[in-house]
A = this chain, B = another copy of it.
Amino acid sequence: MNAEIIAVGSELLLGQIANTNAQFLSQQLAMLGINVYFHTVVGDNAGRLEQAVKTAQTRANLIIFTGGLGPTKDDLTKETIARLLGRRLVIDEEALRAIEVYFARTNRPMTENNKKQALVLEGSTVLKNEHGMAPGMALVADGITYMLLPGPPKEMRPMFKKYGNAFLRRTFSLSERIESRVLRFFGIGESALETAIADLIDAQSNPTIAPLAGDGEVTLRLTAKHQDEAEAKRLLDEVESAILARVGRHCYGYNDETLFTKTLERLKERGWTIASAESLTGGLFLEQLTALPGASQVVQGGVVCYTNGVKEQVLGIPRPLLEAEGAVSEPCARLLAENVRAMCDADIGISFTGVAGPDPLEGHPPGTVYIGIAVRGRDATVHRLMLSGTRDAIRIRTAKYGCFFLLEMLAADC
């Protein structure tokens, strides 16, 4: 079977928003094993929408629409399809009640046009909208499956995941389970990772292995298909083990985990607190950690020591050291980590000093970075990095390397 996704909305044709709905649905359909051959975007215009539907009918047996289900006269997706298929629109009582409840709860008067949102194609399966008012619907007519979804992503996505997906599984008798798992890597480049597991990638069929690089990280998406869910998971476990046996050192987490969530989690488990001294990162490391709920159990605080004056006066780095070794140096990174740890009375002190660019500093090119890690009662360690990229890329990768080295230390320590 093959699908076409038709997004309806003039705001897309004006470039006010990107068609992220088509992207989301394409991913979802790929996971179901359904090929998508076309995306179409058309405005809020009955004639052109009709034309787009007729074109799709000649080339797809699944047509998914997003948008045009709202209360205004510009919303005409279901009206157009009703006309084309010769179906009536009928009130869905459950949807109507939900709309009435919504207005009652928000203390707003319900205008007559809102009833229009409860109209559905006669004989269709209604897809409940748990995050908005307009229900979706799906039906099969003359061998073609039509699914109508609302335009706002926060309504469309959960509706598709919960109801649309199940409808397609039933309609197309998709009995295979698709299980997918993302492995997240850091500190290894995409090509080095691919080289290390080249034979596994070449031999892949089920599960498939799809690498993706971005923001200094590489991910591998493993996707297995099987009638039996447990067996699909076992297939994933197997290929994951084979991969981790080679590059496990660089794998820090799964799926939606980030280096920062992982670091916070590990520190919390350990019951350790942290403080940072940030020069080139300018607060980025702590900002990322404190963006996470629960940071207060772990983060004590820190010092952004952008100038040598602050390094000296606030963090007690002796001027002779700054003059002899420079701020971008191993001894400076070490002392920054030790002193900020002591000052903030934390279990771990971490420091970031280096050159974010665009200009060199103290004769060092952009990308020269020292990260110091001091643990209460132990000698501090310092890691030296040579990073490439823009100022932004160097800063974020530096902060991520901080997490990576912390995780490595915490793992070795267990």
Q: Which of B15, B289, B300 contacts A23 (CB 8 A)?
A: B15
Contact indicator A344/B309 (Cβ below 8 Å): yes
Q: Tell me if A296 counts as interface (CB < 8 A to partner B).
A: yes
Q: Which of A356-399 contact B (CB under 8 A)?
A: 358, 391-392, 395
Q: State the CA gap A13–B286 with chains docked (Å).
A: 38
| Interface range on chain A (Cβ under 8 Å from partner) | 35 or more
In contact, A301 and B291 (Cβ under 8 angstroms): no
What is the 8 Å Cβ interface bit string for chain A, positions 261-284, against chain B (1 contact, 0 not)?
A: 000000000000001101001111
Q: With an 8 A cutoff between CB atoms, is A95 at the interface?
A: no
A 10-55 contacts with B by CB, 8 A: 12-20, 22-30, 36-43, 45, 48, 51-52, 55
Are A282 and B290 in contact, CB atoms less than 8 angstroms apart? yes
Residues A275-319 near B (CB distance < 8 A): 275-276, 278, 281-287, 289-291, 293, 295-296, 299-307, 309-310, 313-314
Residue of B nearest to A210 (CB): B16
Shortest Cβ distance from residue A364 to the other chain B in the assembled complex, whole angstroms: 15
Question: How many Å lie between the Cα of A13 and that of B12 in the bound state?
Answer: 17
A276 to B304, CA, bound (A): 9
Q: Smallest distance from the beta carbon of A349 to chain B beta carbons, Å?
A: 12
Is there an interface contact between A13 and B39, defined as CB atoms closer than 8 Å?
yes
A301, B293: Cβ atoms closer than 8 Å: no
CA distance A224 to B19 in the complex (A): 27
A300 to B30, CA, bound (A): 51
A18-B19, A24-B15, A291-B391 given as contacts; is B39 within 8 A of A40 (CB)?
A: yes
> What are 29 of the A-B contact pairs (CB < 8 Å)?
A12-B23, A15-B25, A15-B30, A18-B18, A18-B19, A18-B23, A19-B19, A19-B23, A37-B45, A37-B48, A38-B52, A39-B40, A48-B59, A55-B55, A275-B310, A278-B283, A281-B287, A282-B291, A283-B283, A283-B285, A284-B287, A286-B304, A293-B391, A296-B306, A296-B307, A301-B310, A302-B304, A310-B344, A314-B344
A: residues with CB less than 8 A from B are 12-20, 22-30, 36-43, 45, 48, 51-52, 55, 59, 212, 275-276, 278, 281-287, 289-291, 293, 295-296, 299-307, 309-310, 313-314, 343-345, 358, 391-392, 395
